[in-house]
Structure 1
Amino acid sequence: MLKPGAGWLRAVAVAAAVMLAGAARAETPFITVQSTTSTQNSGLLDAILPQFTARTGIEVRVVAVGTGHAIRNAMNGDGDVLLVHDKAAEERFVADGWGVRRFDVMHNDFVLVGPVEDPAGVAGGQDAVAAFRAIAAARAPFVSRGDDSGTHKAELRLWKLTGLDPVAASGEWYRETGAGMGATLNIAAGMGAYALTDRGTWIAFGNKAGLDILVEGDPRLFNQYGVILVNPARHPHVKAREGQAFIDWLTGPEGQAAIAAFRVGGEQLFFPDAR
C-alpha cells in the first residue's frame, strides 16, 4: 500500500485550516447597517465601529448609499439597522411598520460651498434660501446630487422655499450628478460650481481646490441623524438582538463619546444628541 507523501499531507492540512477559518467566520455574529454616504465618507464609521465590535464581538457590515436608497433597501429587508439623515422619511418608515422605533443619534449641519470668485455674490450670508435665489438669478453653475439622498432632499426643500424650479434648468446652469457627496464635490470643484453638502463630508473632503464655505448658520441647514431597527415582524431574518445591541451602544454613553471624539484635522464633525 502506498503511503501518502508529505506534499499530500500538507495539502490536506491547508484545506482543513481554510475550512476551519471559514467556519469560524461563518459563526462570527454580524449585522448589516444600511447607512448614508456621509457617515462613511467622513471616516466616522471606520473610527467607531471597531470599538463596538471590540465591546460586543458583533461585526458591522455597512452598505453606504444615499438615504432614500438606504431606506428602500431596509424596506426590502436588506439590512438589520438603518442609520440615515432624513427625519421625516425615517418617521414614515416607522409609522408604516418597516422599523421598530427611531432614535436620535447625532447632528451636524449643511453648508453651501462654492467658488471663491462667488459669481452669485452670496458669500458671508446666513440665509440659504436667499442664496439659492441669487444663484438662480445669476444662472451660476449649481451641482446637485440628484440621488434622493438626505442631502438632496434638504436641497430640494430649500429650492421649494424659493418658489423656483431648478430642474427646469437641468443640463444648463443646474447639473444633477446622480452620485454621492464626494463625487458631487469633485464635480463642483472641477466646474467652479455651488453645491450643498453636509459639513462632515466637507471637512473630510480632500479636493477643495477653488471652493469654500460661502453660506452657513441658517437654522434650516440643521442636519439630524437617526437610527432604527428594521422590523423583524416584516422581515423575520432581521437580527433583532444584535441590531438592538448596536443601537443601544450607539445611543449610549460609549457610542456617544466615540462620536464626540471623532475629529478630522482637530475639528469635530458630528455632535451626539441621543436622548
Structure 2
Amino acid sequence: MEWNRILLVAALLIAGLLVAGCVSEDAPAVPDATPAPTAAPAPEELRIATTTSLYDTGLLDHLGPAFEKKYNAKLLIVSAGTGKALEYGQRGDVDVMMVHDRAREDTFIADGDGVDRRVIAYNYFVIVGPESDPAGIRGTEPEEAFQTLMTEGKAGTPGVVFVSRGDSSGTHAKEKAIWKAAGYDYATDVQNSGDWYVEAGTGMGATLVMANEKEAYTLSDIGTFLAYKGDLQLVPIVDSGDILLNVYSTMLINPEKHAGIDTELGKAWINYLISDDVQQEIATFGVAEYGEPLFFAASGKWVLMGVPEAEVTSPVV
C-alpha cells in the first residue's frame, strides 16, 4: 500500500513537469512591464546674427544655455559687423537680428525685412589709447578729441595713430558720426588722410588687439574693451559725451517677406531677453570678473535712450 502511494506521487510529479514544459514552450512570452524610454525630440534651431561687439563680450554664451534648456533649442550664432549682420537678415538667412545702429535698423524695418524691434541693453563707446596719450586728448569731448587726432595725426606727431574698425559695423558707424559731428566728411577728409589712420576691417576684439600692437587709439564699446582689458596695455582716454551712447536691440526677421523664419522661437528669444530676470542678468554681467557691468539693462532706461517704452518692455506676441 505504501509502495503504491509512492508510485502515485511520483507519477503526479512527472505529469506536472510535463505540463509545465508544454506551457513554457507554447505560451506567449510575458511582455516587459517597463516601457522602453522615448527618445527626446531633437532641439529646434534658432539662427541669430549678432554684432562682434556684442558677441565678443561673452554675453550670449552666458544667457544662451538657460534659454536652450527651457525651450529645447539650439542657438546658431553668427557674429559680424552690423552691416554684414543686416545682410544676413536681408537674405532671410537668420531668424533674429541683434545689432546697434539705430539708423540702419530703421531702414531695415522700413524695407520690410525686420519686425518687433526691442531694445535689450545699452552701454557707452570709449576712445582708448596708450597711457602716455601722445595726442593729448584725455578728458576732452569726443568731437574735440577727433579734431585733435586729425590735426596731430596729419602733422606726423610721434605715436598718434588711430585704428578704425573700417568694416561697416555699428561701431564704425558711430565713429563716422563722431567725425561728422567734429566737422569732417569721412570719405573725403578722413579716409586716405595719411598713415596715421588705419582701417582694420576686423571685429571689435581683433581691432583692439591691433590697436594695442600699434600703441594706437581706437573707438570701442566699453563692454568689449573690458572683456579684453586683461590682454591690453590700452586705457580709456575719452569716456564721456552724449554721442558715445551705444544702444543694442534685437528684432525678428519678417516672416511675411522671408520664408522659413522660426517665428515662434524667435519671439520666445526676444521675450526672454527683455524679461525681468534676464534684464537683471544683463545688468550684473561682468561685475564679478571686471568690477563693473559690461552693459546696462534697458528696462527703466528707455527715456535716457530716446526710444519708445513699448520698444523696451512690451512682450512680442
TM-score (norm 1): 0.87
The aligned residue for residue 84 of structure 1 is 99
1:129 aligned to 2:154? no
- Structure 2: tracts of 5 or more residues without a match: 1-38, 154-159, 299-311
Other-structure match for 2:43: 28
1:161-240 pair list within 5 angstroms:
161-164=181-184, 165-169=189-193, 172-205=195-228, 206-209=230-233, 211-240=234-263
Match of 2:285 among 262, 265, 269: 262
Which whole-Å deviations, capped at 9, do the CAs of 1:154-213 have from their partners, x for residues lacking one? Answer: 00111112223210315x11000100111111111111111000000000003212x110
- Percent identity over paired residues: 41
2:179 corresponds in structure 1 to 159
Correspondence for 1:42: 57
Q: Please state whether the residue corresponding to 1:267 is helix, strand or coil.
A: coil
Report which stretch shifted further, 134-143 or 248-257.
248-257
Partner deviation per Cα, 1:53-108 (whole Å, 9 max, x = no partner): 12222221110111111001111111000011001111111111001121111100
| Residue identity in the other structure for 1:175 | V
Question: 1:219 Cα shift?
Answer: 0.8
CA RMSD of aligned residues (A): 1.4
Please say if 1:55 is aligned against 2:70. yes
Q: Is the 8 A contact 1:91 1:102 kept in 2?
A: no
1:98 to 2:113 alignment: yes
Q: Are the aligned partners of 1:77 and 1:235 in contact in 2 as well (CA < 8 Å)?
A: yes
Point out 4+ residue stretches in structure 1 off by more than 4 angstroms: none
- 2:52 and 2:40 map into 1 onto residues whose CA distance is 30
Which residue does the alignment assign to 1:18? Answer: none
Provide the TM-score with structure 2 as the length reference: 0.76
| Equivalent pairs, count | 249
Partner of 1:116: 131
Match for residue 149 of structure 1 among 148, 160, 169: 169
For the residue of structure 1 that corresponds to 2:237, the secondary structure is strand
Structure 2 counterpart of 1:15: none
Quote the Cα distance in structure 2 between the aligned partners of 1:44 and 1:207: 19
Distance 1:168 1:78 in 2: 34
Which residue type is aligned with residue 130 of structure 1?
Answer: E
Report the CA distance between 1:24 and its aligned residue.
6.5
Unaligned runs of 5+ in 1: 1-22
SS of the residue 1:228 aligns to: strand
Q: Which amino acid aligns with 1:43?
A: G
